[in-house]
Amino acid sequence: MAKSTVNRELALLKHIYTKAIEWGKVTENPVKKVKLFKEDNQRVRYLEKGEIKMLLDTCKDYMKPIVITALYTGMRLSEILNLTWDDIDFTRGIITVRITKNNEKRYLPMNTELRNTLEYLKKNCNLDSPYAFCNSKGDKFAKYTISHRFNKVIKELGIKDFCFHCLRHTFASHLVMSGADIVTIQRLLGHKTLAMTLRYSHLSPNFMQSTIECLRFGVDTFWTLEQNEKSATKEQVKESICNINAISHSGSLAQLVEQRTLNP
């Protein structure tokens, strides 16, 4: 179990005891002094576009729609497997996520690729099941089953430190790199706070470099100033030579000295 999950459960337990004391049900909070784990906020890697293609090419047919849904919605695996056809509104292009981690419904738009995938799945699914993703008996897939089989595919591809939940990271990261604002991404992911979403906004070094290269303030730097000074000096020398030649032809070098004195 992840440290973050333990912390959430412990925080809930502390809150329950606090309320129980207020209501006079208990006299003390036995978990009051239990310290939370220090969470590791290391940024988890996301899949590049080339890796996404390899993943989809390797996945079995029953797995592909699940992976595509994760990539285009950022939904958790449990949320995807709980989806019923009633949750998918093809007319409006909206998915309603009813069973969520924080028990709050959220509404996710479908893009063309996801809509086509789910429409094909519904049309070609011969099972009379309410679930969008189900096994041959019409029962929804078990979370462990999909997670385990997904890990086997990842291992086969040689991708390190990646699990199904990292598709959620991939969704958010590519949205950020496409220019989506962080608040919109927060709403799509269903995060309570913006701080949680910022953990998903890690960007590829190449994208960050290309972004910085867009900056052009038009300011003079020390080397452009130096180049300008050198150019100015060359022009002055050139002008002087022309003057010397012109005056030499008129017959007097003294005139040059006098001219430069009067017009420095």
Residues designated as active site: 76, 101, 165, 168, 191, 200
Strands 94-97, 106-109: parallel, antiparallel or unpaired by DSSP?
Answer: antiparallel
What number of other Cβ atoms are within 10 A of residue 247's Cβ? 17
Structure tokens at 6: 């333990």
What number of other Cβ atoms are within 10 A of residue 227's Cβ? 12
φ/ψ (deg, to 5) at 98: -90, -40
CA–CA distance, 248 with 34 (Å, rounded to integer)? 97
Residue 72: partners with Cβ closer than 8 Å, 6 or more residues away: 110, 111, 113, 114, 171
CB 118 within 8 A of CB 88: yes
Residues pairing with 140 in the sheet: 134
Burial of 59 (0-12, 13-18, 19+ CB in 10 A): middle
